[in-house]
Amino acid sequence: MTVETTKLSIWAFANPTRFMGFANKAIPMLAIIAIALSAIGLWMSFNAPEDYQQGYTVLIMFIHVPTAWLAMMTYSVMSLSAIGTIVWRHPLADVSLRSAAPLGAMFTFLALATGSLWGKPMWGTWWEWDARMTSVLVLLIIYLGLIALSKAFDEPSEAALPLAVMTLTGFAIIPIIKFSVDWWNTLHQPASVSRFDRPAMGPEFLYPLLIMAFAYMAIFFTLHMMAMRNEILARRIRTMKMSAARKHSAKGAT
């Protein structure tokens, strides 16, 4: 029995500690990779030829499309973390979910902002209720709702399960939302804005785009790991403050 109990406390304590050691080593490396990839990606982007249709606005694509991908990837990372919370009750899973949410919101916001800046010269309006922008807007609301939920609890450990359950419920429904919004869009605006949907993109655009996507991914993982480290620190501070308070009250009692 004692064996089991100690095993449990290793799960509860040592793992975040081991994670901290790993994170401290990994973050500088990730940061270097992120900066290098961004530099290469940007260099390639600015050296890409002018698109015959979009002119130089194709430059916006290189930073817009990856944010939209990252917005979705971040949600997947959060959903995986949510499974970790629900199935294994692993504290690190909750730390990961919580830290990813603001990053997801940031990428989603960037996708909307750069999309809007791309849309103005292309479609002539800042905001078009087209299928993609609308779905991304809904995703942003979901992210902000989850962040609000994570902040609503006094005791952070109490937020873990609600956050995980809500994240996974969203994960199950997001494809339906995407589908319904696409459907709604074709109903109201018969394929007027999807003119950029060219099946094949020339390699002169594809390669910079892919490198930029990898750069954004590296940025995400760097920031995610840094945010996770912060979250673990916050929890340690909290535990320490609580144990200090307890010790104080115990002293007062005797």
Partner 1 sequence: MLALLKREILLSIRAGGGALTGVLFFLAVVSVFPFAVGPDTKLLSHLAPAILWIGALLASLLGLDRLFAQEREDGSLDLLVMQSHPLALTIFVKALAHWVMTGLPLVIATPLFGIMLNLSPLGIGATMITLLAGTPAISFIGAVGAAVSVKLPRGGMLISVLVLPLVIPILIFGVAAITGALEEPAPFTAPFLFVCAITLFTSVLGPLAASIMLRHSAD
Partner 2 sequence: MKLIVENLGLNRASEEIVKDISFELSAGEALIITGENGSGKSTTLRGIAGLLPLNSGAIKLLDENGKQFEGQPREYCHYLGHQNGMKTALTVRENLDFWQKFCGEPDLTIEEALEEVDLSHTIDLPFSYLSAGMKRRVTIARLLVSDRPIWILDEPTAGLDAQSVKMFTALCQAFCESGGILIAATHLPLGIETEKTLEIKASN
Partner 3 sequence: MFGEHAGFIIPSYIISFAAILGMTIFIIAQHRSRKTELKRLEDAGVKRRASND
Residues lying near partner 2 in the complex (CB under 8 A) are found at 1, 4-5, 8, 89, 155, 157-158, 242, 246, 250
Binder of residue 165, out of partner 2, partner 3, partner 1, none (CB less than 5 to 8 A by kind): partner 1
Residue with smaller CB distance to partner 3, 14 or 173: 14
Letters for 195-224 (x = contact with partner 3 by CB under 8 A, - = none) are: ------------------------x---x-
Q: Is 19 in the site for partner 3 (CB under 8 A)?
A: no
Judged by CB under 8 A, the stretch of 2-10, 39-47, 109-117, 183-191 that binds partner 1 is: 183-191
Helix axes of 91-123 and 203-253: crossing angle, nearest 10 degrees: 140
Distance CA 108, CA 116 (A): 12
Long-range CB contacts (within 8 A, 24+) of 46-50: 47/208, 48/204, 48/205, 48/208, 49/204
Would you say 206 and 62 are in contact if contact means Cβ atoms under 8 Å apart? Answer: no
120 binds, among partner 1, partner 2, partner 3, none (CB under 5 to 8 A by kind): partner 3
Q: Name the token pair of 79.
A: 């959903």
> What CA–CA distance (Å, rounded) separates 150 from 145?
9
180 binds, among partner 3, partner 2, partner 1, none (CB under 5 to 8 A by kind): partner 1
Q: Which of residues 132-171 bind partner 3 (CB under 8 A)?
A: none
160: its two tokens: 């873990």
Which of 2, 41, 15, 45 is closest to 218 using CA atoms? Answer: 41
- Partner that binds at residue 161, options partner 2, partner 1, partner 3, none, CB closer than 5 to 8 Å by kind: partner 1
Contact 90, 15 (CB under 8 A): yes
> How many Cα atoms are found within 13 Å in the side-chain-facing hemisphere of 157?
8
Q: How many amino acids of this chain bind partner 3 (CB under 8 A)?
A: 38
Contacts to partner 3 by CB under 8 A: 9, 13, 50, 55-57, 59-60, 63-64, 67, 102-103, 106, 109-110, 113-114, 117-118, 120-121, 219, 223, 226-227, 229-230, 233-234, 236-237, 239-241, 243-244, 247
